[in-house]
Chain A
């Protein structure tokens, strides 16, 4: 293509510049999108911070109530709280509830999803019922859950698992339907037992879908958790929010809100990393 290019007459520096100018654009174009997206994302977060700051510290009147909620008080307060004795405990309590709730949801949701994905009739039989149950806010079970499970962690586990189970069931079932028939005929041509087929083909084959369901479930559970913890318990982030309100500790309240957002963000990032790790070879 560059047969008539008079490279012979170029100096070494010019030749190097030419080589760079022809080789660079490709690598640059490939590298840009991921980098740009990350930069844009950080920019968006900074813009959010600036809006928060403008609304509470700059535009609000100097003695306005809203000043209690500004980032310049909430962020230092959060650091103080995190090094104090209370907040870390509440965080751990909340995270434990999330893990237990998700654990139960996986325990019920994955086998249920496998069964529904395998048997079309079961799918037809269950899908309207599931749509019905799914649309009931988990919080509306609260009184019933307390009556059945008593006061304490158990009703919260129930409500979190109830909220989390649907995306796991639906995604697992979808994963089963998307399994390649060739993988299953491979298993039978190797005389695999049902258990071996399940363990070596079906479960790894649906893992990506299960993790997608898990990620959606984490989002839902984290949102449902805080209101769940506002009733009948004495620990957890939801409890702590009401506690700060009752103590009129508004900067602590805002710091806790910030912490809830931060933890949710990290949980989601963790779920995404898990998904990427599990599906890295499939690209």
Chain B
């Protein structure tokens, strides 16, 4: 619950001092990203380590580079400098056990919910598995998000929340070690969003998956994450980090969370003032 140093997990730092005792599942070292044709980098000097099973939220003002960073961490975009490793192996392309979801559920309208969840399981770069095995995974994933009743429906017949659940099930069918979520609930109404946050908690617990969640909603970050990372500056890097060691769900810890919230907001305000000056 304390604000740590700016780069708390430098790879040359002694292991004893890092709060992460397990070997990180995903690690970024000195990552910089500069889009071709742009004068300055979007991200610079980003160091990060994700522990197995850990949920980290990325906060930051609009356009700061959160989505760009997530694309780098997903292996969708190669960094211009630095490395991203998964289980100590360099990430080349999207790893089959990294699942990505965006604000747009990206369901294919010509496939049923079930087929959408199964989509991509038989692609060339995915691990080989029998038909029975993938059917079982799809069924399990759909059950996990509570959509078994609707599995033969087409996306046009689904509500926004159901569509986002389907997108989550598509991630789960790959038995992910890491979930990367870019504002997945951003387009949902308040009530549905709360439901989805609880679903995310359940999924992370049931699948023992690590997750990185980009969100605009500080409360969402406070409710679901073990750690909150604030991105800021241009080029962007981590400008603040908060560890939250409270049990989940956290609706009973409003007071504790409130203190962190104030801290995050004042850090945000500080950077805004510095930028204005």
Minimum C-beta distance from A178 to chain B (A): 12
Cα distance, A193 to B123, chains bound together (Å): 8
Question: Is the pair B123, A189 in contact by a Cβ cutoff of 8 Å?
Answer: no
Which of B106-114, B136-144, B207-215, B229-237 makes up part of the contact surface? B106-114
Across the interface, which residues of B come within 8 angstroms of A12, CB to CB?
A: none
Cα distance, A160 to B76, chains bound together (Å): 45
Question: Is the pair A192, B109 in contact by a Cβ cutoff of 8 Å?
Answer: no
B120 at interface, CB cutoff 8 A: yes
Minimum C-beta distance from B181 to chain A (A): 12
Question: Is the pair A191, B154 in contact by a Cβ cutoff of 8 Å?
Answer: no
**A283/B156 contact (C-beta < 8 A), A192-B120, A204-B110 known:** yes
A185 at interface, CB cutoff 8 A: yes
B96 at interface, CB cutoff 8 A: yes
Cα distance, A191 to B100, chains bound together (Å): 11
Question: Is the pair A196, B106 in contact by a Cβ cutoff of 8 Å?
Answer: no
Minimum C-beta distance from A22 to chain B (A): 28
Question: Is the pair B125, A191 in contact by a Cβ cutoff of 8 Å?
Answer: yes
Question: Is the pair A193, B110 in contact by a Cβ cutoff of 8 Å?
Answer: no
* Number of A-B pairs, beta carbon distance below 8 Å: 57
Question: Is the pair B123, A281 in contact by a Cβ cutoff of 8 Å?
Answer: no
Question: Is the pair A190, B110 in contact by a Cβ cutoff of 8 Å?
Answer: no
Q: Is the interface of B mostly helix, strand, loop or mixed?
A: loop
A15 at interface, CB cutoff 8 A: no
Question: Is the pair B156, A189 in contact by a Cβ cutoff of 8 Å?
Answer: no
Across the interface, which residues of B come within 8 angstroms of A187, CB to CB?
A: 120
Cα distance, A188 to B75, chains bound together (Å): 10
Which of B119, B125, B126 contacts A200, CB < 8 Å?
Answer: B119
Cα distance, A200 to B120, chains bound together (Å): 9
B131 at interface, CB cutoff 8 A: no
Question: Is the pair A191, B109 in contact by a Cβ cutoff of 8 Å?
Answer: no
B247 at interface, CB cutoff 8 A: no
Cα distance, A187 to B100, chains bound together (Å): 11
Which of B119, B154, B155, B156 contacts A190, CB < 8 Å?
Answer: B119
Minimum C-beta distance from B187 to chain A (A): 12
Question: Is the pair A196, B124 in contact by a Cβ cutoff of 8 Å?
Answer: yes
Across the interface, which residues of B come within 8 angstroms of A192, CB to CB?
A: 120, 123, 125
Across the interface, which residues of B come within 8 angstroms of A32, CB to CB?
A: none
Across the interface, which residues of B come within 8 angstroms of A282, CB to CB?
A: 109-110, 154, 156
Minimum C-beta distance from B126 to chain A (A): 7
Question: Is the pair B76, A188 in contact by a Cβ cutoff of 8 Å?
Answer: yes
Interface residues of A in 165-194 (CB under 8 A from B): 180, 182-183, 185-193
Question: Is the pair B123, A183 in contact by a Cβ cutoff of 8 Å?
Answer: no
Which of A191, A205, A281 contacts B126, CB < 8 Å?
Answer: A191
Cα distance, A223 to B259, chains bound together (Å): 77
**A185/B106 contact (C-beta < 8 A), A190-B94, A190-B119, A281-B156 known:** yes
Cα distance, A189 to B98, chains bound together (Å): 9
A201 at interface, CB cutoff 8 A: yes
Question: Is the pair B74, A189 in contact by a Cβ cutoff of 8 Å?
Answer: yes
In the complex, the chain A residue whose C-beta lies closest to that of B109 is A282
Cα distance, A282 to B110, chains bound together (Å): 6
Across the interface, which residues of A come within 8 angstroms of B104, CB to CB?
A: 182
As a 0/1 sequence over residues 193 to 213 of chain A, the CB contacts with chain B under 8 angstroms (1 = contact) are 100100011001101000000
As a 0/1 sequence over residues 204 to 241 of chain A, the CB contacts with chain B under 8 angstroms (1 = contact) are 11010000000000000000000000000000000000
User: Could you list some 25 contacts between A and B, CB below 8 A?
Assistant: A180-B106, A182-B104, A182-B106, A185-B102, A185-B106, A186-B119, A188-B94, A190-B123, A190-B126, A191-B120, A191-B123, A191-B125, A191-B126, A192-B120, A193-B123, A193-B125, A201-B108, A205-B110, A207-B110, A281-B109, A281-B112, A282-B109, A282-B110, A282-B154, A283-B156
- Interface of B toward A, CB cutoff 8 Å: 74, 76, 93-94, 96, 100, 102, 104, 106, 108-110, 112, 119-120, 123-126, 154-156
Q: A189-B74, A189-B100, A200-B119 are in contact. List 9 more A-B contacts (CB 8 A).
A: A182-B106, A190-B94, A191-B96, A191-B125, A192-B123, A192-B125, A193-B123, A196-B124, A283-B156
